[in-house]
Amino acid sequence: MAESIYLFHSTNDFLLNHKIEEKIKEFNVDPFNIIKYDLLENSSDDILEDLQTVSFFAEKKVIVIRNIDELEKEDEFVIKNWVTYFEKPNPDVILIIAMQELLPETSLLGGALFKYAFIEKVKDMEKKDYPDFIKNMFKKYQYQITDDAVEALLERTNLDFNLINQEAEKLMLFAYDTKEINEKAVILLVSRNLEENIFELTNALLSKNQTKTIEIFYDLVARNEDPLRILTNIVGKVRELMHTKLLLDKGYRQDQIAEHFHIKSGRAYYLVKNAQGVNFQQLENHIKKLSKLDYEIKSGKIDKKLGLELYLLGA
């Protein structure tokens, strides 16, 4: 097995990228000698030529390749050229391959990777590990973030690492002088999108947290969201929970539910948790009442803002 070929795979792009960056740091290679390729954009011949080229400026160079599975579409002789390289890689080059899913070991390319690469699956993080990860992410840039700010950031980004990373840049720019980030800064700068707000509103509604339900509703109205659109989205979330409960009854796991709805694992975690915390009859009752309210609004019997507000207050 060659010590210069590493393969990392994960369906979480952010964690996969983070793992690769951490691995690159271990080699202490000058940034000039870190080259990144994507087989969706770059020619396989050009990449292979670079892999075989001696590094003139340093002892080592790092080459990162994404979408290597695109080689499966190439002619067999092209794949065999890559397999030949894997068998005897350039000692001047550290090759790092990033994949979402491994190729089958039965394929020519997949079999070569299993035989000649160090393979590691980048595991998704458990919810309890998110706060420390975020604190360390800020600490790396000499910033401090409070516990309540971390909690607010996680809530508003719905555990989406790519979104967390985007918002982190905004927060660090805001706190450039003090290097300290508190909850007030997160609330000021990181806004919830409609889907996240509806998700939180529906959870508050089902758990009978009237204060939070109305608070989120007023916030949405203040941002000029149409009450009828809010109602439609609540109905959608309630139906999603009903669907989830049916899947759970059929024995579906969290990862299967994430795949079924095409959502991230963090979102699926909360979806499963919330579905388990409410009974099916309660969800059906909400659907019936919300459908009736929808009819009354559209037929002009009640104002849409007033009607939804009264419903949320009385639910």
Walk along the chain (315 residues) in steps of 10 and give the mean pLDDT of each run. 84 90 92 93 95 80 96 94 96 95 95 96 88 94 95 83 89 96 92 78 90 89 87 93 94 92 82 91 94 94 94 86
- Of 88, 121, 154, the last residue of a domain is 121
Q: Output the pLDDT for position 27.
A: 92
Q: How many CA atoms lie within 13 A of 257 on its CB side?
A: 25
- Specify whether 57 is located in the same domain as 153: no
Total domains, the chain: 3
Tokens of 177: 């002088």
CB atoms within 10 A of CB 178: 11
- Specify whether 209 is located in the same domain as 266: yes
- Specify whether 203 is located in the same domain as 243: yes
Tokens of 277: 């915390």
- Of 145, 163, 189, the last residue of a domain is 189
- Specify whether 297 is located in the same domain as 216: yes
- Specify whether 201 is located in the same domain as 244: yes
Burial group, residue 9, by CB count within 10 angstroms (0-12, 13-18, 19+): middle
- Specify whether 243 is located in the same domain as 145: no
- Of 72, 87, 121, the last residue of a domain is 121
Angle at 28 between CA 38 and CA 20, to 5 degrees: 35
Residue 69 belongs to a domain with what CATH number?
A: 3.40.50.300
Enclosing domain of residue 63: 5-121
| Beta bridge partners of residue 97, listed in sequence order | 7, 65
User: Whole-model pTM?
Assistant: 0.60
- Specify whether 14 is located in the same domain as 88: yes
Helix axes 265-276, 227-249, angle to 10 degrees: 80
Q: Output the pLDDT for position 58.
A: 67
